[in-house]
Amino acid sequence: MRAAAPTALALVLSACTPAPRDAPPPSPSAPAASTPPSPPGAGSTPPPSCARRAPAPAPAPLDPTHTGSGVALAELDGRTLAFVADEDDRALHTVDLDARAALARTPLAGRPAQVIVLGDGRVVASLRDRGLLEVLEPTGAAAPLARRCLVPVAREPVGLAMTPDRATLLVASRWEPALTSFATDDLRRIGELPLARDPTAVVASADGQRALVAHAVGGRISAVALAGGGAPTAARELSTDGVEWQRRPVLSKKAWAPRPMPSAMARSAPAGLEELLPTDAPAPVRVERRGSQGFALARAASGAVFAPIALVEPGRDASSGGSGGYGAARAQTVIHHIAVVDAAGERADVPPVSTHLGTQGCQLPRAAAIAPAEEVLLVACLGRDEVIAYDARAAIPGQPGAAASARDRELYRARVGFGPTAIAVDGARGRAVVFTRFDGELTILPAVRAPASAVISGPSKELSGELPVVVLPRASRLDEQRAEGQRLFHAAGERRIAFDGRACASCHPDGRDDALTWSTPEGPRQTPVLMGRLVGTAPYGWLGDKKDLEGHFARTLSRLGGAGLTAGERDAIFAYLRAMEPPDGAADLTAEERAALVAPSPAGAEGAGAIAAGARAALAARGEALFHAREAGCSSCHLGDELTTDGARHDVRSATRFEAVRAFDTPSLRFVGRSAPYYHDGRYPTLLALLQGVDGSMGHTAHLSAEDRRALVAYLESL
């Protein structure tokens, strides 16, 4: 990487939180493998083909919604097979669900995030660390899959889905945020559309006219219009933010009487909130919550799409340093919710508090699936290591049979292994398959409204009895310390970390940031990226007042009201985070991989929003020169080839009236282009806005032309 001495100008560039709703999403660059070192098909070697080749019977996919997951189900040779994308093992596992036996392990060219079975039986895996799709073909139920071809796509492909006619494959990429469509017959690229940051899951609408994309951060669901040929053409962002009406706790016995709210509140409050309250109880308080943790989508037979999320209160007045928020009050910061997008994809219905699922649901929902005949929604809860079954009918406000309370909508819970990250439903047999990534197991559980094979115990509604488990034969796994750190980092409900059960991953999904600016006693602060920024970036914290990670971590747990972890547990989390690497593009291919790489599509197929790789590289090179120029003053504080920090505090003369300090630590600019908004208080929605707003306090950019500012942004986005 180039010497990245980032700018004084970005001194308080927060490498922290995602881009707000009104910020234009960064345009993903063309896939890194669009110009491979040696074009496939050169010379006498025929170009690779992704078309089906095997004469053997093809697996029949079992998912009627054609949505990818970490587990894909199919029937072949009279067996029900599960294809499991094992990211930590860099492999696909084939499992016979009927015999409850692992049949084969197929090594892949990267770490698979999701897998999907195409209509003709081929299997596609999204390799999140390589910017590639890998196409494989089963040649028999018990044999490893035959590896057919590699297809370049925008960096960090995660979510997969097909249109109802199975003619178009949709791919959501997270690092270079985009939705890309391919023709399933030959994996020819049809089109690509830039999206807001961190898209993760994707599902096609029942009529095939749009795709819905969930975003891990920012509280968005994108509704993307699909042209007749399946090309994404335009995106609208639907908010998953919600409103909660809180009553303050009553600490003594009082007389009870009806107490209506003020008329101004009553107009926007949910019906029926005027209940019996203590006669001296204050009026309910309106609390705005931000949608977060958008990792999963599931489509019902009705066409409605369910999005299990977390609703977060970053502070009652996070923009002005108000109370609440990040450890400043003993309130429930995160609650579970299921947003519902209507069949037309026009709106995301996020009702008021009476329909929230509360504090005992999933704080880290990572997967969801629906048993269509039973209308049961299953949600995999990372950190709590359980799957919760909900009445899908009751989760749609206004539908017949909608439940009056959250507990009525929950059908039952099932305890599973460590780290449930994927779920698939075999509707014909009334069962679901859950992949628990941290321990490498498949758990089989009922996917019906009233399980007969297990007893639901007491108020907890937990299934009792042993559930069938298949252990996957992994060839590689995390070492013991990092594996412990992985579990602890995602441990939701662990009171030693936070009083309200938040996990480290609640604010730092995948070691990154949550796109939020939190209210703290010191003023508003945005969440920093952790991945790639822990080593060599001391001191820590926005104020730079902790010289080592140990001290900073201890203060974090104290602010969150956590009881604390042991030194060994703390070091395990550090080891897990230090090993995190950003996803690569499809570069540095081996000779074998290069031979399997499908030739890039014709010019223009990337979509109107994508910038040609060569032009973007030239723009970034120009920005690098500006960054290091004395006139701009950027590199006087942001030093070094990788970390881009001088490890010092600087007075940026921009503290708000709610802050007593003016000097802040110089943050690393690594991955800054993927961590909007910017500044310690998140006041700038984009890098361009920051360059225009901080002249004099951090560097000097007022003299730059509009084109020079764009070049500087291109360079910063390349770090």
Where is average pLDDT lowest: 59-63, 156-160, 287-291, 313-317? 313-317
Burial degree of 389 (CB within 10 A; 0-12, 13-18, 19+) = buried
* pLDDT of 643: 64
* pLDDT of 16: 32
Q: For 421-431, what is the mean pLDDT?
A: 95
Q: Is the pLDDT of residue 402 over 70?
A: no
| CATH code of the domain covering residue 148 | 2.130.10.10
Token pair belonging to 141: 């139920």
* pLDDT of 273: 39
pLDDT winner (highest mean) among 123-137, 305-319, 385-399, 557-571:
123-137
Backbone angles phi, psi at 710, to 5 degrees: -65, -35
Q: For 277-304, what is the mean pLDDT?
A: 79
Angle of the 706-718 helix axis to the 613-628 helix axis, nearest 10: 100
Query: Is the separation of the CB atoms in 248 and 240 below 8 Å?
Result: no
* pLDDT of 253: 41
Decide which of 427, 456, 477 is a domain's last residue: 477
Backbone angles phi, psi at 34, to 5 degrees: -65, -25
* pLDDT of 167: 96
Categorize the per-residue pLDDT at 406 as very low, low, confident or very high, splitting at 50, 70 and 90. very low
Q: Please give the full DSSP string across 321-384, using - where no structure is assigned.
A: T-SSSSSSSSS--EEEEEEEE-TTS--EE---GGG--BTTS-SSEEEEEEETTTTEEEEEETTT
Better-scored residue on pLDDT, 81 or 626: 81
Query: Is the separation of the CB atoms in 7 and 632 below 8 Å?
Result: yes
Decide which of 426, 457, 477 is a domain's last residue: 477
pLDDT, one tens digit per residue, over 454-509 is 677 666 788 878 899 999 999 988 999 999 999 999 999 888 998 888 899 999 99
Sign of the dihedral through C-alpha 599, 605, 607, 611: positive
What's the rounded Cα separation, in Å, for the pair 276 and 268?
19
* pLDDT of 91: 97
Q: Is the pLDDT of residue 61 over 50?
A: yes
Sign of the dihedral through C-alpha 328, 525, 674, 11: negative
pLDDT winner (highest mean) among 25-34, 162-171, 248-257:
162-171
What's the rounded Cα separation, in Å, for the pair 75 and 80?
5
Token pair belonging to 260: 């209506």
Which residue type sits at 47? P
Query: Is the separation of the CB atoms in 192 and 605 below 8 Å?
Result: yes
Q: Is the pLDDT of residue 639 over 70?
A: yes
Shared domain check, 170 and 94: yes
Shared domain check, 296 and 214: no
| CATH code of the domain covering residue 326 | 2.120.10
Q: Please give the full DSSP string across 143-172, using - where no structure is assigned.
A: SPPEEEEEEE-SSSEEEEEE-TTS-EEEEE
Better-scored residue on pLDDT, 518 or 347: 518
In this structure, what is the dihedral angle of CA atoms 244, 249, 250, 255, given to the nearest 10 degrees? Answer: 10
Shared domain check, 204 and 58: yes
Any domain includes 46: yes
* pLDDT of 201: 97
Shared domain check, 405 and 383: yes
C-alpha 534: how far from chain center: 21
Sign of the dihedral through C-alpha 281, 285, 291, 297: positive
* pLDDT of 606: 43
* pLDDT of 709: 86
Where is average pLDDT lowest: 94-108, 126-140, 583-597? 583-597
Any domain includes 141: yes
Radius of gyration of the chain, Cα coordinates, nearest whole angstrom = 25
Decide which of 460, 477, 494 is a domain's last residue: 477
Which residue type sits at 145? L
Q: For 378-404, what is the mean pLDDT?
A: 76
pLDDT, one tens digit per residue, over 616-637 is 788 888 888 888 887 777 777 7
* pLDDT of 611: 47
Any domain includes 608: no
Q: Is the pLDDT of residue 299 over 80?
A: yes
Query: Is the separation of the CB atoms in 340 and 399 below 8 Å?
Result: no
Quote the pTM value: 0.84
Query: Is the separation of the CB atoms in 134 and 122 below 8 Å?
Result: no
Q: For 566-582, what is the mean pLDDT?
A: 94
C-alpha 512: how far from chain center: 10
Counting the structural domains of the chain, the total is: 2
* pLDDT of 559: 84
Token pair belonging to 144: 């490893």
Any domain includes 609: no
What's the rounded Cα separation, in Å, for the pair 695 and 246?
42
3-class secondary-structure state, position 554: helix
Burial degree of 465 (CB within 10 A; 0-12, 13-18, 19+) = exposed
pLDDT, one tens digit per residue, over 644-682 is 776 677 777 655 555 666 777 778 888 888 888 888 888
Shared domain check, 288 and 210: no
Shared domain check, 301 and 157: no
Q: Please give the full DSSP string across 632-690, using - where no structure is assigned.
A: T-GGGTS-SSSS---S-EEE-S---TT-S--EEE----TTGGGS-SBSTT--BSSHHHH
Categorize the per-residue pLDDT at 2 as very low, low, confident or very high, splitting at 50, 70 and 90. very low
Query: Is the separation of the CB atoms in 564 and 554 below 8 Å?
Result: yes
Shared domain check, 310 and 210: no
- Peptide bond connecting 539 to the previous residue in cis, omega within 30 degrees of 0: yes
Backbone angles phi, psi at 340, to 5 degrees: -125, 120
* pLDDT of 245: 66
Q: Is the pLDDT of residue 552 over 80?
A: yes
Query: Is the separation of the CB atoms in 491 and 497 below 8 Å?
Result: yes
CA 324 vs CA 356, 518, 576, 593: distances in Å? 20, 9, 30, 52
Helices (H), ranges, 508-636 = 549-559, 567-578, 591-596, 613-628
Count how many Cα atoms sit within 13 Å of the Cα of residue 111 in the half-sphere of its side chain. 16
Q: For 19-47, what is the mean pLDDT?
A: 39
Token pair belonging to 420: 């449930």
Categorize the per-residue pLDDT at 274 as very low, low, confident or very high, splitting at 50, 70 and 90. very low
* pLDDT of 658: 56
Percent pLDDT > 90 in the chain is 42
Instruction: Give the contacts of 360 (CB within 8 A, at least 6 positions apart).
Output: 336
Query: Is the separation of the CB atoms in 376 and 369 below 8 Å?
Result: no
Residue (of 467, 414, 422, 413) closest to 440 by Cα position: 422
Shared domain check, 172 and 36: yes
Any domain includes 525: no
Categorize the per-residue pLDDT at 63 as very low, low, confident or very high, splitting at 50, 70 and 90. very high
CA angle, corner 664, sides to 659 and 667, nearest 5?
A: 135
Angle of the 567-578 helix axis to the 549-559 helix axis, nearest 10: 110
3-class secondary-structure state, position 194: strand
Query: Is the separation of the CB atoms in 311 and 244 below 8 Å?
Result: yes
3-class secondary-structure state, position 507: helix
pLDDT, one tens digit per residue, over 99-126 is 999 999 999 999 999 999 999 999 999 9
CB count in 10 Å sphere of residue 546 = 18
* End-to-end C-alpha distance for the chain, whole angstroms: 8
Any domain includes 537: no
Shared domain check, 333 and 217: no
Burial degree of 581 (CB within 10 A; 0-12, 13-18, 19+) = exposed
Token pair belonging to 678: 């910017």
Where is average pLDDT lowest: 166-170, 278-282, 326-330, 493-497? 278-282
C-alpha 477: how far from chain center: 23
What's the rounded Cα separation, in Å, for the pair 78 and 56?
13
Shared domain check, 244 and 207: no
Q: Is the pLDDT of residue 615 over 90?
A: no
* pLDDT of 620: 85
Query: Is the separation of the CB atoms in 246 and 287 below 8 Å?
Result: yes
Where is average pLDDT lowest: 30-34, 184-188, 467-471? 30-34
What's the rounded Cα separation, in Å, for the pair 334 and 352?
15
Sign of the dihedral through C-alpha 102, 375, 294, 187: positive
Q: Is the pLDDT of residue 568 over 90?
A: yes
Q: Which structural domain range is residue 123 located in?
A: 23-236
Task: Kindly state the helix (H) or strand (E) to which residue 232 belongs, with its residue range.
Answer: strand 232-239
Per DSSP, what are the bridge partners of residue 147? Answer: 136
pLDDT, one tens digit per residue, over 38-50 is 333 334 455 678 9
Q: Is the pLDDT of residue 386 over 60?
A: yes
* pLDDT of 514: 93
Better-scored residue on pLDDT, 603 or 344: 344
Shared domain check, 322 and 422: yes
pLDDT, one tens digit per residue, over 352-368 is 444 456 667 789 999 99
What's the rounded Cα separation, in Å, for the pair 41 and 595?
8
What's the rounded Cα separation, in Å, for the pair 209 and 563?
50
Shared domain check, 56 and 40: yes
Residue 476 has what DSSP assignment? Answer: -
Q: For 48-57, what is the mean pLDDT?
A: 82
Any domain includes 425: yes
Any domain includes 510: no
User: Exposure pattern of 88-97 as b/e (b: 16+ CB <10 Å)?
Assistant: bbbbbbbbbb
Token pair belonging to 514: 């949550």
Sign of the dihedral through C-alpha 48, 49, 52, 54: negative
What's the rounded Cα separation, in Å, for the pair 311 and 362?
11
Indicate the average pLDDT of the chain. 80
* pLDDT of 641: 65
